[in-house]
Structure 1
């Protein structure tokens, strides 16, 4: 990513479902290799299942675009003052350039005002992901076994005004290249 490349964060709609599915599959291959499991949910979800997910009123999926190309995405489930982040994906050729961090902070501007906490989960062995979440203010809470995988769950408690403050930073174009 060069200096002149602008990243646009916006909601992903059903017309972008095919591109989103392709992005997620490309991004999650490395996770599958870490866990030696090609059947992780991000790799087995069908296009039809993804479209249903994109149409769910309790889910917000954001994308990071560079020009017309979708280079990153993040999914947020919203329920009773709690948001749960999952499926954070960045195109393999764009990883390590802060796009995941931009998406993490970008999510905050799309949460309902009554959101008190944001949870994220990732594979326990995904050390890079856990480090990125820690840097963004998420703290490890517990691990949970699901089949052959163990997930680490991290939480960020939102303080009054935190969503608005972070949203202003993103809209002002604050570059976050620490992820």
Structure 2
């Protein structure tokens, strides 16, 4: 990536149209992969998106490169569980770590009692599955929805951080 910094923040209602455009651009390749132009990110209306942004149990963050919206992720909160969805990165910006950055930048927006994060993606979306697995998400089950099969993955908060600390020696016993 260039010297420009990606910043993340909550999406505002005024940005709903731009977010809708970003999602549609980002999810075209998923629709092509599955031969289904009617996947929810491509059929959601602006009105539905605005209603979603207004929900108390939904957090949607955006990633910006200067004044350009380049990514977003939606998280639905239910008790101690958060479910990530609609992780979208502008097609020309994919592969630059923006999706990964959003996986971590969303954490401060979650309620303190959140103990696990779930995510789902198409079973054949190998790149998505690899990214989630790399960052501590473990496959739980597959579920068919019409002609599509989704893979559901879960990450227990704290576990991945503890493993990373052990790998880097940060969890080692203090020296005397």
TM-score (ref. length: structure 1): 0.88
Q: Distance in 1 between matches of 2:7 and 2:125?
A: 26
Alignment of 1:140 onto 2:147: no
Please, which runs of 5 or more residues in structure 2 have no aligned partner? 162-176
Aligned residue for 2:124, secondary structure, equals: coil
TM-score (ref. length: structure 2): 0.89
Q: Deviations over 1:65-112 (max 9, x none)?
A: 000110000000001110000000000000000000000011111110
- Structure with bigger RCO (C-alpha 8 Å, 6+ apart): 1
Aligned residue for 1:85, secondary structure, equals: strand
Query: Which of the pair has more CA radius of gyration?
Result: 2
Name the Cα RMSD after superposition: 1.0
Where do 1:1-179 residues align within 5 Å? 1-2=1-2, 4-159=3-158
Q: Distance in 2 between matches of 1:7 and 1:135?
A: 21
Q: Distance in 1 between matches of 2:146 and 2:12?
A: 31
* Offset, 1:159: 2.6
Q: Distance in 2 between matches of 1:10 and 1:46?
A: 22
Aligned residue for 2:113, secondary structure, equals: coil
Report runs of 4+ in structure 1 exceeding 6 Å deviation.
none
* Offset, 1:158: 1.1
Q: Deviations over 1:107-160 (max 9, x none)?
A: 111110100100000000000000000011100000000111000000000139
Please, which runs of 5 or more residues in structure 1 have no aligned partner? 163-179
